Homo-oligomer: A and B are copies of this chain.
Amino acid sequence: MMISTKGRYALNILLDLSQHADEGYISLKKISQRQKLPIKYLEAIVSVLNKSGMVESLRGKEGGYRLTKKPEDYTIGSIIKLAEGSIAPVSCLESENCAQACHCLTLPLWMKLEGLIDAYLESVTLKDLLEQKIS
């Protein structure tokens, strides 16, 4: 599995915030209820989105989160990469460089596969999902 609940829930959070963008700050409690996802887990996920500037937060009563950009300015690729850390389909494409990399028959395959996945996910935005504009 390349995309776990971290990436999927991050997407759910941002889609929920998009759909309620006119209601000011939205609390995790509301998102948790609407999306039927555990609030304590969402806390950990939204923390990453917040630190990267994808959302902004307000503490205290009437607090919550809201988008910092328009839905069309969030690519699915950027969201997944942030929440998951990477979209590499195989571990040899990540940080630690494989010892046999220079004479590996399969490395070009994995690189092309990752490029394909990246290109597709970068071509789709939150707005496309909201408008159901997938194929």
Interface residues of A (CB under 8 A from B): 1-4, 8, 11-12, 15, 36, 76, 88-92, 100, 105-106, 108-110, 112-113, 116-117, 120-121, 124, 129-130, 132, 134-135
Residues of B within 8 A of A100 (CB): 36
Question: Is B129's CB under 8 angstroms from A8's CB?
Answer: no
Chain multiplicity (copies): 2
Contact (Cβ within 8 A) B129 A106: yes
- Contact between chains at B117 and A113 (CB < 8 Å): yes
Q: List 5 A-B contacts (CB under 8 A).
A: A105-B132, A106-B129, A108-B135, A112-B135, A116-B117
Q: Is the CB of B129 within 8 A of A120?
A: no
Contact check: which of B1, B36, B106, B135 meets A88 at CB < 8 Å?
B1
Q: Is the CB of B109 within 8 A of A1?
A: no
Determine the chain B residues whose CB is within 8 A of the CB of A134 once the complex forms. 108-109, 112
The interface residues of chain B lying within 8 Å CB-to-CB of A91 are 1, 4
* A8, chain B: closest CB distance, angstroms: 6
- Knowing A1-B1, A90-B1, A90-B3, say if A108 contacts B121 (CB, 8 Å): no
Choice from B12, B113, B130, B135 contacting A121 with Cβ under 8 Å:
B113
